[in-house]
Amino acid sequence: MSRIGKKPVELPSGVSAQVSGQTIEVKGPKGTRSFTATDDVDIVLDGNVVTVKPRGNSKRARQQWGMTRSMVANLAQGAVSGFRKELELVGVGYRAMMQGKDLKLSLGYSHDVIFPAPDGITLSTPKQTEIVVEGTDQQLVGEVAANIRNWRRPEPYKGKGIRYKGEFIFRKEGKKK
């Protein structure tokens, strides 16, 4: 039995859902998102509560059960409050600034890195050493944050690079004489 799949998803106030076949569409103040589930699960909408039930007892149906419930819960949260990832730049001369809708990064390369914001994602730089990635799609927010971080991953000796806010970087000891 899936512990996650058993829990019903209660839609917050201001959010409406519509189920047609295997597709659920959630509308909220931040926008409209939809998700199409596999044929291994049933999505049932009862008032403002969405429940997911497996079809059968196969391993795949049980796997899809919890995953589908998590996706529906993320749709509801994204429609109300959205998702947010914060990045920090650590290193001498490492800076980030907005250039229109694009993010301009100075990361110690011979050129500045220009990172265009994809549709549905809002990039902002409250400080020169902070980047905030916001959007309604959790997967896309995480992917964009990871792509920005990959331009200069944190290194273990001095800790320089782009890291998630609050991320612990395991530090190594340097050479000894």
pLDDT in tens, 31-46: 899 999 999 999 999 9
What digits encode the pLDDT tens for the residues 82-116?
999 999 999 999 999 999 999 999 999 999 999 99
Are 84 and 137 a contacting pair, CB within 8 Å?
A: no
Are 11 and 17 a contacting pair, CB within 8 Å?
A: yes
What digits encode the pLDDT tens for the residues 3-23?
888 899 999 888 999 999 899
Instruction: Output 57-64 pairs: Cβ under 8 A, ≥24 positions apart.
Output: 62/2, 62/5, 64/37, 64/38, 64/40
In this prediction, residue 5 carries a pLDDT of 87
In this prediction, residue 1 carries a pLDDT of 61
In this prediction, residue 140 carries a pLDDT of 94
In this prediction, residue 31 carries a pLDDT of 87
Domains with residue ranges and CATH for the chain: 3-80 (3.90.930.12), 83-164 (3.90.930.12)
